[in-house]
């Protein structure tokens, strides 16, 4: 099994467990991945409760932003949510797109898909669909989505470039995405970067902010803008599991930072990407 496949299996196993945890446990850890803090507060996610379409049963407290708030969803849109979990962002997107629209959630984990389908069924949401699949190879045909959203998911995927290529493929010409994710500024300490549980907990799977933004530009998107950015602070009683006291001090006083960003970008109305073999590069 390749390293990428091993990391995917770590994520699949961890998020199967998370599907059965309560929201309070998830919110007091790093994206639900354990190492719970006695300093119980929301490390990553933001308050969804004021958004129309919010359903408490579908909120596992796993996000790192509010991408649906920034996604400019219109009535009748087809919306795809990458890493849909228990369905929280999908149900908010459904409120925005209305009865004439459609929302498709994709998740890697059987337990999450089952939970989301049950949440949709009990509410009679017939225009919300959940599919199990890998967002590096989405089970969706090309050029179908008006909007793609995702919340604290791409940082879990080893091949982020592959995901952005898939987002480009699935969006309609002129469609757009709004994605909240975790990025880094500066080098992450080795203890955090290598630990498998912290990988499943969003932090050590994150890449440098400048690299993340370059991947978006390199895959042909336009009108790229950071809609929101905030620093993420991990409590000492979580960090101590991965770093020495001296390393924790260096993390706090150095130039390294962990950030949540919400990024917007559009697929051009006409193809402008240079494809290998196409004579333009």
Residue whose structure tokens are 């995702």: 150
Count of CA atoms in the C-beta half-sphere (13 A) of 188: 23
Residues 274 and 60: their CA atoms lie apart, in Å, by: 40
Q: Which two tokens stand for residue 60?
A: 């596992």
DSSP annotation of 34 reads S
> What pLDDT does residue 71 have?
95
Model pLDDT for residues 11-53, shown as the tens digit of each residue: 656 655 554 544 444 444 444 444 444 443 344 455 555 555 5
Reported as a single tens digit per residue, the pLDDT across 158-169 is: 899 999 999 999
Question: What is the rounded CA–CA span in Å between residue 214 and residue 161?
Answer: 10
Q: How far is CA 51 from the centre of its chain?
A: 18
- 250-254: Cβ within 8 A, 24+ apart: 250/189, 251/189, 254/186
- Separation CA 274–CA 258 (nearest Å): 33
Cβ(96)–Cβ(68) below 8 Å: yes
Show the tokens assigned to 236: 């000492």
Q: How far is CA 89 from the centre of its chain?
A: 11
Q: DSSP class of residue 155?
A: G
| Rounded-to-integer distance, Cα 128 and Cα 109, Å | 18
H/E element, 172: strand 171-185
DSSP string across 39-56: S-S-SS----TTSTT--G
pLDDT higher than threshold 50 for residue 251: yes
- pLDDT of the residue at 232: 78
Q: Which of 147-151, 178-182, 205-209, 254-258 has the lowest mean pLDDT?
A: 254-258
| 238 alpha carbon, distance to own chain's centre | 22
Does residue 157 surpass a pLDDT of 50?
Answer: yes
At 91-133, the pLDDT tens digits run: 999 999 999 999 999 998 888 899 999 999 998 999 999 999 9
Query: Which domains occur in the chain, in start order?
Result: 3-266 (3.40.50.150)
Helix then strand then coil, % of the chain, to nearest 5: 35, 20, 45
Q: What is the pTM for the complete model shown? A: 0.78
Q: Is 35 helix (H, G, I), strand (E, B) or coil?
A: coil
Angle in degrees, CA 153, 43, 264, rounded to 5: 40
């Amino acid at each position: 099994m390749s390293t990428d496949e091993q990391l995917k299996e770590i994520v699949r196993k961890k998020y199967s467990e998370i599907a059965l945890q309560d929201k309070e446990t998830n919110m007091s850890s790093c994206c639900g991945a354990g190492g719970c803090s006695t300093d119980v507060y929301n490390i990553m996610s933001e308050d969804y409760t004021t958004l129309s379409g919010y359903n408490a049963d579908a909120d596992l407290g796993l996000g790192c932003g509010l991408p649906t708030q920034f996604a400019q969803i219109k009535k009748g849109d087809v919306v795809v949510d990458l890493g849909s979990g228990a369905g929280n962002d999908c149900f908010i997107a459904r409120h925005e797109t209305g009865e004439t629209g459609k929302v498709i959630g994709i998740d890697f984990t059987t337990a999450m898909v089952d939970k989301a389908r049950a949440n949709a069924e009990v509410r009679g949401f017939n225009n919300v669909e959940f599919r199990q699949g890998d967002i590096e190879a989405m089970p969706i045909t090309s050029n179908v989505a008006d909007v793609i959203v995702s919340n604290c998911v791409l940082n879990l995927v080893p091949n982020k470039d592959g995901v952005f290529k898939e987002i480009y493929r699935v969006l309609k010409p002129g469609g757009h995405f709004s994605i909240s994710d975790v990025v880094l500024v500066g080098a992450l300490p080795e203890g955090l970067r290598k630990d498998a549980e912290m990988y499943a907990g969003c932090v050590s799977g994150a890449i440098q902010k400048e690299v993340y933004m370059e991947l978006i530009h390199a895959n042909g998107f336009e009108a790229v803008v950071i809609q929101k950015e905030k620093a993420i602070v991990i409590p000492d009683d979580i960090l101590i599991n991965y770093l020495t006291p001296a390393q924790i001090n260096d993390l706090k006083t150095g130039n390294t930072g962990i950030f949540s960003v919400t990024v917007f970008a559009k697929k051009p109305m006409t193809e402008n990407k240079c494809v290998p073999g196409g004579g333009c590069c």
